[in-house]
Amino acid sequence: MKAFFIKQYGKSEVLTFGDQPEPSLRDDDVLVQIHAASVNPLDNKIRSGEFKLLLPYKMPLILGTDLAGVVVKVGARVSRFKIGDEVYARPDDERIGTFAEFIAVKETSLALKPANLSMEEAASIPLVALTAWQTLVIKGNLKKGQKVLIHAGSGGVGTIAIQLAKHLGATVATTASQANANMLKDLGADIVIDYKKEDFSNQLHDYDLVLDTQGGDTLKKSLKVLKPGGKLIGIAGPPDPAFARQHGVNSLVKLVMFLLSYGIRKSAKQHSASYAFHFMTANGQQLSEISKLIEAGSIKPVIDRVFTFEETKQALDYVDAGRTKGKVVIKVR
């Protein structure tokens, strides 16, 4: 099959287009013919080797972490899917590879594609929607009447998280450029802070939850907007000890994560708040819940551009530039 893969970590030029073996099928796997994939910042971070301590991939590695397609074969123990089903997924961390014509996905990581979405629209959803669900619903326990700040509202995670938070009944603030303010208000944002001209930490107070996608100074300043008992959840780092335990890393990596996150955890405690790092995990059941919201019209995809399969490298470079509104999609088939 045709695929985009790397033989070593590095910059954009290490990406290769060529033939790779069609994936083998385990008993609990579903073989999917990929019709569309989407690009996430994570893809470029994996390509550069940023996660090689946590995710020690073997080379050659096919990149890509979102897909929509059609089931062409099922494993012996698969019961929820059949040949011909239209599906979508964020594959498990150790089994990525959606920039290809086929992929084998664990049954429990797969969901039926929302009936009201095209393949391209569906491919834009899994990683960012699961990130929003796991941070706001599972880890953040966001409730009706609470207040949440979602940073970088016009990004892939932000556009979905705003809609999910609004569906949950929260008051939603976000940071973005003024050019994107109307779009984000249409998605459900109550307050849009122009990060180029305004300091969100001086304008927002007594928030229950902050979802940070930026890290650095933005992460630290976010503690100022939280009420006592508030939660700061970061997806850009630094990883914390709970994450290290969850992923079963070795003692040295555990120590590194403890030290990297010590400052922000200490500051959070001083603010009577908490900090947690979140790295999204594949989950077909949660994705099925998200599908219901999409089919009900509560969540809609936001797509910046669609590239052809042959333009996958250009799509990755476009996302790497950091100026996308919503998601970038690759039409594979």
Q: What is the pLDDT of residue 98?
A: 98
Of residues 55 and 38, more confidence is placed in 38
- CA separation for the pair 235, 304 (Å, rounded): 22
pTM of the entire structure? 0.96
- Angle at 120 (CA atoms; ends 114, 125), nearest 5 degrees: 55
Q: 114 preceded by cis ω (within 30°)?
A: no
- Please choose, from the candidates 321, 249, 322, the residue with its C-alpha nearest in 3D space to the C-alpha of residue 52: 249
Domain(s) of CATH 3.90.180.10: residues in the chain = 2-125+301-331
Model confidence pLDDT, tens digit, residues 46-79: 999 998 877 889 999 999 999 999 999 999 999 9
Query: Of all residues in the chain, what percent carry a pLDDT higher than 70?
Result: 100
Tell me if 306 sits within 8 A of 329, measured CB to CB. Answer: yes
Nearest Cα to Cα of residue 320 among 92, 53, 46, 3: 46
Distance, CA of 309 to CA of 312 (rounded, Å): 5
Q: Percentages helix, strand, coil for the chain, rounded to the nearest 5?
A: 35, 25, 35
Q: How many helices (H) and strands (E) does the chain have?
A: 11, 16
Query: 125 and 98 in contact (C-beta within 8 Å)?
Result: no
pLDDT at 322: 87
Q: Is the pLDDT of residue 43 over 80?
A: yes
Of 136-145, 178-187, 202-211, 254-263, the poorest mean pLDDT is in 254-263
Q: How far is CA 318 from the centre of its chain?
A: 17
Percent of the chain at pLDDT above 90? 89
**Structure-block tokens of residue 177:** 């450029």
In this prediction, residues 136-141 reach a mean pLDDT of 97
Q: Where do you find CATH 3.40.50.720 in the chain?
A: 127-277
What value does the CA radius of gyration of the chain take, rounded to a whole number of Å?
19
Does residue 275 contact residue 288 with C-beta atoms inside 8 Å? no
Predicted confidence at residue 196, as pLDDT, reads 92
Span 81-135, pLDDT tens digits: 999 999 999 999 999 999 999 999 999 999 999 999 999 999 999 999 999 999 9
Q: Please name every residue paired with 33 in a beta bridge, in sequence order, or none if there are none.
A: 70, 102
pLDDT one-digit tens code per residue, 249-260 = 788 888 888 898
Cβ pair 14, 8 in contact under 8 A: yes
- Strand (E) or helix (H) holding 186: helix 181-187
Tokens of 141: 């326990």
Rounded Cα gap, residues 159 and 154, in angstroms: 5
CATH 3.90.180.10 fits 2-125+301-331, yes or no: yes
Residue 249, pLDDT score:
76
Alpha-carbon distances, residue 250 vs 172, 247, 253, 310 (angstroms): 39, 9, 6, 39
The pLDDT tens digits of the residues spanning 204-249 come to 999 999 999 999 999 999 999 999 999 999 999 888 888 888 777 7
Cα distance between residue 33 and residue 73, in whole Å? 9
**Which CATH fold would you assign to the domain 127-277?**
Rossmann fold (3.40.50)
